């Protein structure tokens, strides 16, 4: 695993850390305790990475701790598969919850007791109103709601009914437990929110022990209180829930007083970050799975070759604020390159091979040249590469009729073969269709190793592999999954899928050193990009994923010309 150790980067300041700092300074909290509370109904994605880095980061910086708590209150949507993948992903990102792994379901009995407490206090009631009617009674954004006719039930009746709900006497949807707050509130969440619903479903952890389950609102804050969470950090859409969060905390005999703070969720251009959309991409087979390298899931970017340190750096650069925002995906790419550049070993790989024959190089002769594993880091050592009369170079590195700014090979032009010799293109061989299928060149024997004794300069250095010992490989090039920066802005996001997000090159040729590349190990294909072996690799046939391309100034120049 390539995980560049970034020497103590200052975490960055933001309003959340300011609040925590102020609470610590004022002695309002004894120690800082945060939590990352995923619902196990999908894989973690880049948006979660922001939340994870924030919650675990804050805890780390203030010498506190961060819990991993599964918000598993809806058994109809949650699965063990997700519970497992989430833990793997959080660890991979570089965070450790220690012994503090919890589930909202751990607290079901306590939550139930607190629900009865509310009933006894006359602050909650069982409502038999059917769902559609309840919706009507809730009113609208501008009109107040109406009290349910069951709102005035006696404590005794409520208690009896609620217990019978738990006992399984009623079918799904027949009744709910509601908080008795204010049907005329401008805040919809305060119009007698549902606290418990009947769900005859098997829970991944509690099995069939329960047939009533607490809603998010009733479970979350109380779970925070049980765990003595000091700062409950969530995204902006829960802002309206804070009054309810506080109401429940204040009306229940909870053991601590957590506070909720909200920040803006992460959005990225050309990307979609919602469980609903990601789930559709997988179930409708638009991608190969949750870990498809094009997916913005942690499993996906991991398979693509992105090191966790790059994600942490990305999140740090993005910052934390309360304003709605959409981050340029280029910022992610940049963080990935900056993380990989210092550590990724350099290799030569020809993605689209073009045969090149050196006419004045003796047939049958080979020689061993030395190539640096990392030009900026001599400690990375060197490797031998075999040179011979027949080579392959990148198709894009030759143009028969080059524009003025083209520095690479063209008829009569001299370039350097990386770590090899200066060569000059003498002629081209074409097939019947007129396509260039082979380059005939000559080399300068005096330029061995890459420099000519006469001090002659060349405009370009290109990469190559020798024909005899090149390893055939499959290379998968990925680009944005969506073809517009704001997928879904005009309707269905899936209609904006980029049909060319995956390009598979089956005839790439890579140098022998790449034969046994391990998945998760990042390498740089010189002049091309950062790549990582895919788990699909076979011993005789490696498969590489392009993690991210190198910055390509020539591509811009070429486009403008």
Partner RNA sequence: UGGGGGAUAGUUUAGCGGUAAAACUCCCGGCUCUGACCCGGGCAUCCUUGGUUCGAAUCCAGGUCCCCCAGCCA
* Cα 316 to Cα 37: distance, rounded to the nearest angstrom: 20
The stretch near RNA (CB under 7 A) out of 131-139, 280-288, 299-307, 537-545 is 131-139
303 binds RNA (CB under 7 A): no
Cα angle: 126, vertex 129, 130; to 5 degrees = 130
378 binds RNA (CB under 7 A): no
Contact 264, 324 (CB under 8 A): yes
Figure out which of the listed residues 24, 159, 502, 550 binds RNA, where binding follows CB under 7 A.
Answer: 550
Contact 242, 140 (CB under 8 A): no
Nearest alpha-carbon partner for 546 in 558, 555, 533, 536:
533
Please, what is the minimum distance in Å from the beta carbon of residue 500 to RNA?
A: 19
The stretch near RNA (CB under 7 A) out of 11-19, 114-122, 247-255, 292-300 is 11-19
Assess whether 275 carries a catalytic annotation.
yes
Q: Binding to RNA (CB under 7 A): which residues in 464-503?
A: none
Cα 95 to Cα 5, 303, 400, distances in angstroms: 14, 19, 53
**Of the listed 17, 265, 484, 515, which one is catalytic?**
265
410 binds RNA (CB under 7 A): no
The stretch near RNA (CB under 7 A) out of 82-90, 245-253, 457-465, 473-481 is 457-465
First-to-last alpha carbon distance for the chain, in angstroms, is: 41
Beta strand segments in 238-374, E: 259-263, 345-347, 349-350, 353-358, 366-372
Please, what is the minimum distance in Å from the beta carbon of residue 103 to RNA?
A: 11
Map residue 426 onto helix, strand or coil.
strand
- Identify the sign of the CA torsion 85, 88, 91, 96: positive
Query: 338: which residues sit within 8 A by CB, 6+ positions away?
Result: 310, 313
The binding track of 140-159 with respect to RNA, each residue x by CB under 7 A or -, is xxx-----------------
Query: 475: which residues sit within 8 A by CB, 6+ positions away?
Result: 349, 351, 504, 505, 508, 531, 543, 544, 546
By C-beta, is 130 or 445 nearer to RNA?
130
Please, what is the minimum distance in Å from the beta carbon of residue 279 to RNA?
A: 12
Figure out which of the listed residues 83, 159, 357, 460 binds RNA, where binding follows CB under 7 A.
Answer: 460
The stretch near RNA (CB under 7 A) out of 1-9, 53-61, 130-138, 294-302 is 130-138
- Tokens 């949750």 sit at which residue? 290
381 binds RNA (CB under 7 A): no
Figure out which of the listed residues 449, 455, 499, 539 binds RNA, where binding follows CB under 7 A.
Answer: 449
Please, what is the minimum distance in Å from the beta carbon of residue 264 to RNA?
A: 5
547 binds RNA (CB under 7 A): no
**Rg of the chain, C-alpha, whole Å:** 31
Contact 104, 220 (CB under 8 A): yes
Contact 485, 269 (CB under 8 A): yes
Please, what is the minimum distance in Å from the beta carbon of residue 449 to RNA?
A: 4
Task: Give the H/E segment covering residue 533.
Answer: strand 529-533
Please, what is the minimum distance in Å from the beta carbon of residue 320 to RNA?
A: 7
* Cα 514 to Cα 508: distance, rounded to the nearest angstrom: 12
Figure out which of the listed residues 256, 407, 424, 444 binds RNA, where binding follows CB under 7 A.
Answer: 407
Kind of pairing, strands 529-533 and 543-549? Answer: antiparallel
377 binds RNA (CB under 7 A): no
If phi over 0 gives left and psi between -120 and 50 gives alpha, with beta otherwise, what is residue 434? left
Contact 298, 48 (CB under 8 A): yes
Map residue 439 onto helix, strand or coil.
strand
442 binds RNA (CB under 7 A): no
By C-beta, is 323 or 433 nearer to RNA?
323
138 binds RNA (CB under 7 A): yes
Assess whether 39 carries a catalytic annotation.
yes
By C-beta, is 242 or 292 nearer to RNA?
242
**Of the listed 242, 259, 275, 546, which one is catalytic?**
275
Q: Binding to RNA (CB under 7 A): which residues in 312-341?
A: 317-328, 330-331, 333-334, 337-338, 341
Q: Binding to RNA (CB under 7 A): which residues in 71-90?
A: 71, 73-74, 77
Task: Give the H/E segment covering residue 136.
Answer: helix 131-137
Nearest alpha-carbon partner for 485 in 327, 344, 256:
327
Q: Record the tokens describing residue 170, joined without a space.
A: 């009623």
Q: Binding to RNA (CB under 7 A): which residues in 88-127?
A: none
Task: Give the H/E segment covering residue 246.
Answer: helix 242-251
The stretch near RNA (CB under 7 A) out of 135-143, 250-258, 465-473, 532-540 is 135-143
The stretch near RNA (CB under 7 A) out of 87-95, 114-122, 187-195, 514-522 is 187-195
Please, what is the minimum distance in Å from the beta carbon of residue 293 to RNA?
A: 20
238 binds RNA (CB under 7 A): yes
Please, what is the minimum distance in Å from the beta carbon of residue 453 to RNA?
A: 12
Please, what is the minimum distance in Å from the beta carbon of residue 64 to RNA?
A: 21
By C-beta, is 231 or 292 nearer to RNA?
231
Most distant CA atoms of the chain, gap in Å = 101
Figure out which of the listed residues 36, 92, 107, 213 binds RNA, where binding follows CB under 7 A.
Answer: 213
Nearest alpha-carbon partner for 312 in 330, 295, 332:
332
Taken as a whole, the chain contains a residue count of 561
The stretch near RNA (CB under 7 A) out of 304-312, 351-359, 383-391, 447-455 is 447-455
Q: Binding to RNA (CB under 7 A): which residues in 255-294?
A: 264
By C-beta, is 281 or 292 nearer to RNA?
281
By the 10 Å C-beta count (0-12 exposed, 13-18 middle, 19+ buried), 374 is classed as middle
Number of residues this chain uses to bind RNA (CB under 7 A): 96
Figure out which of the listed residues 386, 479, 486, 554 binds RNA, where binding follows CB under 7 A.
Answer: 554
Please, what is the minimum distance in Å from the beta carbon of residue 527 to RNA?
A: 4
Figure out which of the listed residues 135, 395, 430, 518 binds RNA, where binding follows CB under 7 A.
Answer: 135
Figure out which of the listed residues 189, 501, 537, 545 binds RNA, where binding follows CB under 7 A.
Answer: 189
Beta strand segments in 11-161, E: 33-36, 65-70, 101-103, 124-127
Which positions are catalytic? 39, 265, 275
């Amino acid at each position: 695993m390539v995980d560049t150790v970034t020497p103590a980067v200052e975490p960055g300041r933001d309003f959340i850390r300011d609040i925590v700092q102020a609470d610590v300074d004022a002695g309002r909290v004894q120690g800082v305790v945060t939590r990352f509370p995923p619902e196990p109904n999908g894989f973690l994605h880049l948006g979660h990475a922001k939340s994870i880095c924030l919650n675990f980061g804050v805890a780390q910086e203030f010498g506190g701790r961060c819990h991993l708590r599964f918000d598993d209150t809806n058994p109809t949507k949650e699965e063990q598969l997700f519970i497992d993948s989430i833990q793997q992903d959080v660890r991979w990102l570089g965070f450790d919850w220690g012994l503090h792994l919890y589930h909202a379901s751990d607290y079901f009995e306590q939550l139930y007791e607190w629900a009865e407490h509310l009933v006894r206090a006359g602050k909650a009631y069982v409502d038999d109103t059917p769902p559609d009617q309840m919706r009507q009674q809730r009113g609208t954004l501008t009109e107040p709601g109406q009290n349910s006719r069951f709102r005035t039930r006696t404590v005794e009746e409520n208690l009896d009914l609620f217990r019978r709900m738990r006992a399984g006497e009623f079918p799904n949807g027949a009744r709910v437990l509601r908080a008795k707050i204010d049907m005329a509130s401008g805040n919809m969440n305060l119009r007698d929110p549902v606290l418990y619903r009947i769900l005859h479903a098997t829970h991944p952890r509690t099995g069939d022990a329960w047939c009533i389950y607490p809603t998010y609102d009733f479970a979350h804050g109380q779970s925070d209180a049980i765990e003595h969470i000091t700062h409950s950090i969530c995204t902006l859409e829960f802002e309206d829930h804070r009054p309810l969060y506080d109401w429940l905390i204040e009306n229940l005999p909870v053991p601590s007083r957590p506070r909720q703070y909200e920040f803006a969720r992460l959005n990225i251009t050309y990307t979609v970050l919602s469980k609903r959309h990601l789930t559709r991409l997988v179930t409708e087979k638009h991608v190969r799975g949750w870990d498809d390298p094009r997916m913005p899931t942690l499993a996906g970017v991991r398979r693509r070759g992105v090191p966790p340190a790059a994600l942490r750096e990305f999140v740090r650069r993005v910052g934390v604020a309360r304003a709605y925002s959409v981050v340029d995906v280029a910022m992610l790419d940049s963080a990935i390159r900056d993380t990989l550049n210092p550590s990724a070993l350099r290799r030569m790989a020809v993605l689209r091979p073009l045969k090149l024959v050196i006419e004045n190089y003796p047939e049958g002769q080979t020689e061993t040249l030395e190539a640096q594993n990392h030009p900026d880091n001599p400690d990375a050592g060197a490797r031998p590469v075999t040179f011979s009369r027949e080579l392959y170079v990148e198709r894009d590195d030759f143009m028969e009729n080059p524009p003025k700014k083209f520095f690479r090979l063209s008829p009569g032009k001299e370039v350097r073969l990386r770590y090899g010799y200066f060569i000059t293109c003498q002629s081209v061989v074409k097939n019947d269709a007129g396509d260039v299928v082979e380059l005939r060149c000559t080399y300068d024997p005096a330029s061995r190793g890459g420099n000519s004794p006469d001090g002659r300069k060349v405009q370009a250095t290109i990469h190559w592999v020798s024909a005899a010992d090149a390893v055939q490989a499959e290379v998968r090039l990925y680009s944005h999954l969506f073809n517009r920066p704001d997928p879904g802005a005009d309707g269905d996001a899936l209609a904006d899928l980029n049909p060319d997000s995956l390009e598979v090159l089956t005839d790439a040729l890579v140098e022998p050193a790449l034969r046994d590349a391990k998945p998760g190990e990042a390498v740089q294909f010189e002049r091309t990009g950062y790549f990582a072996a895919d788990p699909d690799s076979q011993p005789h046939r490696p498969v590489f994923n392009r993690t991210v391309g190198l910055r390509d100034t020539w591509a811009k120049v070429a486009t403008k010309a």
